Amino acid sequence: MNNQLAFEAINIAKYFGNFKALEDINLSSKQGQIFCLLGPNGAGKTTLVNMLSTLSEPTKGNLKVLGVDVVKNPQKVRELIGLAGQYAAVDEYLTGEENLYMIARLYHLSAREARVRTKQLLEDLRLTGAANKQVRAYSGGMRRRLDLGASLVGRPKILFLDEPTTGLDPRTRLELWEIIRRLVKDGTSILLTTQYLEEADELADHIAVIDRGKLIAEGTSKQLKSQLGGDVIKIELVRAEDADKVIEAVKDIASKTVYYDDSSKIVNVPVGGNGSKHLIEVVRALDKIGIITNSLALHQPTLDDVFLNLTGTKASELDNQEVPKKRKRK
């Protein structure tokens, strides 16, 4: 199975009644990589992960995990995968050790093998010190690590991690990143979903951006950033009311669509190469219309810029936003 793709989605759609949770999804990932599905709440990430993990069936299309058809052969797929869901799926009233041991026994390991495996996983996930505590006394980060441990008991070839770090503090997030990197180094293929651009930027070999059920961009972090075609000039306004005037004044300097972010009052002007020359043009254009700015600077594009440009929404604001505001202009 060495040349097999880790997973493959071909023309996948998933409908809940009339609601199209996913449509026209074509994706694939090589083995031994971290494939990152990036998107805001409600984008359809969990829906895809659930189908790949045999928990639900697609309305249309084909899904394969390591070459095995997920709908035709779910049992075989279950032997290949591990799933750590968005919500920790461990028993509160058992200790960490008891949870892992129980799962190991469910995987038909002998009592001895189960003890060895449990001990090893507790060590790998740095939970040895908390092994004998009830899970309800665990911190969020410890639970998440235990949940990851539970998904690793069966030594999966491919691991699905659905928002593994959502809600975790930065330090705990870094710890989980380390664990995830180690798993990949040991040969596990990973599909990870996240709403965090830094996470995708940091971990992913390949990123697929989805928004409201559609695939909107795909590539390495570098490729996605270069879609914006080079540098971005950021004009921080003093008054939000000036936005339309400023956009109008600079739109001919821009190499791509100018996009405005309400919350930071920043007009973003993608300018391609030769950024400093364009910076001067922007200064002249603003001077001509008599606009004073808080700041004006030339930036390398970030994934946040990519996202804002694609969806009209800043990724850091996505958490509680149901319907992203569209404020793209040309």
Question: Any contact of residue 44 with ligand ADP (CB under 6 A)?
Answer: yes
Distance from C-alpha of 294 to C-alpha of 279, rounded to nearest angstrom? 15
- Tokens at 60, concatenated: 């249309």
Q: Is 47 in the site for Mg ion (CB under 5 A)?
A: no
Q: Which helix (H) or strand (E) covers residue 306, if one does?
A: helix 303-311
d(CA 228, CA 197): 16
Tokens of 94: 């058992």
Q: Structure tokens of 129?
A: 């010190």
Closest CA to 283 of 309, 255, 245, 246: 246
- Among the listed residues 9, 34, 45, 68, the single contact to ligand ADP using CB under 6 A: 45
16 binds ligand ADP (CB under 6 A): yes
Q: Is residue 53 a contact point for ligand ADP (CB under 6 A)?
A: no
Q: Is 195 in the site for Mg ion (CB under 5 A)?
A: no
296 within 8 A of 235, measured Cβ to Cβ? yes
Q: Which is nearer to Mg ion, 176 or 279 (CB)?
A: 176
CB 45 within 8 A of CB 210: yes
Closer residue to Mg ion (CB): 192 or 246: 192
Distance of alpha carbon 239 from its chain centroid, rounded?
Answer: 34
- Judged by beta carbon, residue 39 or residue 61, the one nearer Mg ion is 39
Among 46, 53, 189, 309, binds Mg ion (CB under 5 A): 46
Judged by beta carbon distances under 5 to 8 A according to partner kind, the member of ligand ADP, Mg ion, none in contact with residue 36 is none
Q: Which range in 44-52, 128-136, 268-276, 292-300 contacts ligand ADP by CB under 6 A?
A: 44-52
Contacts of 173 by beta carbon, 8 Å cutoff, 6+ apart: 165, 199
Q: Of the two residues 38 and 279, which places its CB atom closer to ligand ADP in the complex?
A: 38
For ligand ADP, the closer of residues 241 and 322 by Cβ is: 322
Q: Which residues bind ligand ADP (CB under 6 A)?
A: 16, 19, 21, 39, 41-47
Q: Which residues bind Mg ion (CB under 5 A)?
A: 45-46, 86
